[in-house]
Amino acid sequence: MEQPVTAAIIEDHPVVTEGVASWIRSDPGQRVRLVQTARDLTGFRAMPQPSADVVILDLELSGELVITQIPGLVAAGCRVVAFSGHSDPAIVMETLDSGAHAYVSKEEGREHLVEAVLAAAADRPYVTRSQARAMLADQSPARPALSQQEQQALLLWFQGMSKASVGRRMSISENTVRQYISRARAKYAATGRTAPSKDALLARAIEDGVVRPDEIIPYQSFARAAADQPSPGAPGR
């Protein structure tokens, strides 16, 4: 049995913390284990290390937005899932641009929070409804021209494939895949729309129509797809 993903929550309302804990406990597969709780960033940083696999961060602590603290958490090795009552597209986009792996609004937390934590732990993007709305509403004017190969590499990578797997699927080297991704980041940076994290790059790609939110699904390997197909003459299941 795989080890569960460990999570910490930074939230200044105990009733919300208990609600998150109950969602985690009610997950049938017990795939996430809550190991740390803190009411502010100072308390979280004072906790013994190592920290949890994923940090669930309330964006408003003691009445103040803490989006500017996300880059520091990411630089310290934290995978951050933002959990917020705010739904303003500008706040969502700023949060993703700061390095958060996903944005889950509190009204959709029961449905999406556990899955977003699991996706963050696996370095796989996860798109909630509130996140998709913000991405599609963004009116950033400068859109870099990405080649077809760059777009294909990004899509496969966003779907959860490793860079090596993307290379095999596209019949190119892993190094070439890295170059495509780096080139896409550089093109966005040149337009003033930086994409420092995987999810920020995903946000940019969705904003520009390079990929659609419904395309961000876990990939299925050729071998798995073939194995799932019933063999000729086999009885139906």
Sheet holding 54-58, edge to edge: 32-38, 5-10, 54-58, 79-84, 102-105
Model confidence pLDDT, tens digit, residues 141-165: 567 778 888 889 999 999 888 899 9
* Interval 48-76 mean pLDDT: 88
* 10 pLDDT above the threshold of 90: yes
Q: Return the domain boundaries, the chain.
A: 5-137, 148-223
Asked whether the domain spanning 148-223 has the same topology as the one spanning 5-137, the reply is no
Of 100, 87, 97, the residue nearest 134 (C-alpha)? 87
HSE-up (13 A, CA, CB side) for residue 181: 24
Q: What is the mean pLDDT of the chain?
A: 83
φ/ψ of 34, rounded to 5, equals -80, 120
Residue 38 pLDDT grade (very low, low, confident, very high; cuts 50, 70, 90):
very high
Model confidence pLDDT, tens digit, residues 74-129: 888 888 999 999 888 889 888 887 888 889 998 888 889 999 999 888 877 788 88
* 135 pLDDT above the threshold of 80: no
Pick among 3.50.50.60, 1.10.1660.10, 1.10.150.120, 3.40.50.2300: CATH of 5-137: 3.40.50.2300
For the ranges 39-48, 205-214, 218-227, the one whose mean pLDDT is highest? 39-48
* 31 pLDDT above the threshold of 50: yes
Pick among 1.10.3470, 2.40.50, 3.40.50, 1.10.10: CATH of 148-223: 1.10.10
φ/ψ of 188, rounded to 5, equals -70, -40
